[in-house]
Amino acid sequence: MDHQSRVGWAVSGLSVELPSWGFANSGTRFRVFPQAGVPRTPYEKVDDAATVARFTGAARRISLHIPWDRVEDFAALAAYAAERGLTIGGINSNTFQDDDYKLGSLCHPDARIQHRAIDAILECCEIAGVMGSGVVKVWLGDGTNYPGQDDFRARRRRLIDGLRQIHAALPEATRLLLEYKYYEPAFYQTDVQDWGQALSVCEHVGERAQVCVDIGHHAMGVNIEQIVAVLLAEGRLGGFDLNDKKYGDDDLMVGSIDPYQLFRICHELVKGREDGDDPIAAACAGDVVYMLDQSHNIEPKIPALIRSVMALQETFAKALLVDQAALADAQLGGDVLEANRILRDAFDADVRPALAEARSAAGLPADPYRAYLQSGIEERRAAERVGGQGAGWA
């Protein structure tokens, strides 16, 4: 397959999931800056996601968050999305924004609150079944703030027990993705702190439990691409929450701070998907969910998501240019500099002309970002959505 055909996969083969909350008002711990034209309902979030899909061609799934996206008729919302060329992505649970969850949710020492959290995620399982989602995603704010506050092993037992009940209730062909984060909102200890803890819990929970990797949820200097390689080998990499960071969980736009890190991650994913000698990794890589998870505090929502889709396409296109056979030869021969050169040359390649050609061939704008800015949609969106409160996390 020639380079143009391989790069073209980033346009025609890559599927990117858009988060409903990425279109809504969001902010920092200090302030939420409202924007004109943000969605006021889940239906308007779907409209915005359809706009991104129309310009990029790659982002045709929308991930929902419960209860932020609660509606009376979830089947009707799924039908509305389908009419606009979208399918429903992951159903994300929220067990961190209620007073009951101050000391945790699934890991809470009070059995009543544990059961309340389990019921909330079981509802997400039901919604996933109604909407044809295929993924229920769990991120927990559970943890402790002070030494001695609670028993580590007891909290782990509660966590595994709760997730087993949820796993048993998953609709057919639906996966449970468990996301980890090394700190925050708890500051002393987090119950699902890192990929190793998440993997261990998933192995106890069941075959359809997999790990979700958020790029921002690691300590500085952590080798995320190595984590990706290990999770692929174990068949437990379920999805990515894609963003970027400078200091902590900054939720900045994909590839905006460290594009080379994103390239190294994509390289492992491409290599895993094409590895004929490792069928577990190949099958796992083929089912990974790529979701943008960004907090657009000061930048306009739709242009930011379009830019992020394009950044991910560019990075995958570069990863697809790596000469895997030559790289394997250099590695086996111990040629350190040559192996590194092969990777670096692919990263340094300008794939934008090839992607523009592939988009044009697919009937898409060669430059989706510029095309959107020139379309006038941003101005009409702001003018039409007045008189209501934007649907944001705050």
Tell me: the pLDDT tens digits for 273-285? 999 899 999 999 9
* Average pLDDT of the residues in 250-262: 96
The length of the chain, given as a count of residues: 394
pLDDT given at position 394: 52
pLDDT given at position 2: 66
What confidence category does residue 392 fall into, taking pLDDT thresholds of 50, 70 and 90? low
Give tens-digit pLDDT for 147-183. 999 999 999 999 999 999 999 999 999 999 999 999 9
Interior angle at CA 124, CA 123 and CA 129, nearest 5 = 100
Residues 126 and 169: their CA atoms lie apart, in Å, by 8
Give tens-digit pLDDT for 40-54. 999 999 999 999 999
- CA dihedral defined by 74, 78, 84, 88, rounded to 10 degrees? 120
* Average pLDDT of the residues in 249-253: 93
H helices present in 95-210, as ranges: 111-131, 152-168, 195-205
pLDDT given at position 30: 84
* Phi, psi angle pair for 240, to nearest 5°: -125, 135
* Average pLDDT of the residues in 192-197: 98
What confidence category does residue 382 fall into, taking pLDDT thresholds of 50, 70 and 90? very high
In the predicted structure, residue 389 carries a pLDDT above the cut 70: no
The residue type found at 252 is L
| % pLDDT > 90, the chain | 91
In the predicted structure, residue 368 carries a pLDDT above the cut 60: yes
* Average pLDDT of the residues in 49-72: 97
Which region among 17-26, 135-144, 154-163, 189-198 has the lowest average model confidence (pLDDT)? Answer: 17-26
What confidence category does residue 1 fall into, taking pLDDT thresholds of 50, 70 and 90? low
Provide the CATH number for the domain formed by 3-384 in this structure.
Answer: 3.20.20.150
The candidate with the shortest Cα–Cα distance to 240, out of 207, 218, 260, 256, is 218
What confidence category does residue 388 fall into, taking pLDDT thresholds of 50, 70 and 90? low
Give tens-digit pLDDT for 295-333. 998 999 999 999 999 999 999 999 999 999 999 999 999
Average pLDDT over the chain reads 95
Please report which helix (H) or strand (E) contains residue 387, including its range. Answer: none
392: which 2 tokens?
A: 């944001």
In the predicted structure, residue 28 carries a pLDDT above the cut 60: yes
Give 137's contacts (C-beta < 8 A, 6+ positions apart): 63, 90, 91, 92, 93, 176, 177, 179, 212, 239
Please report which helix (H) or strand (E) contains residue 184, including its range. Answer: none
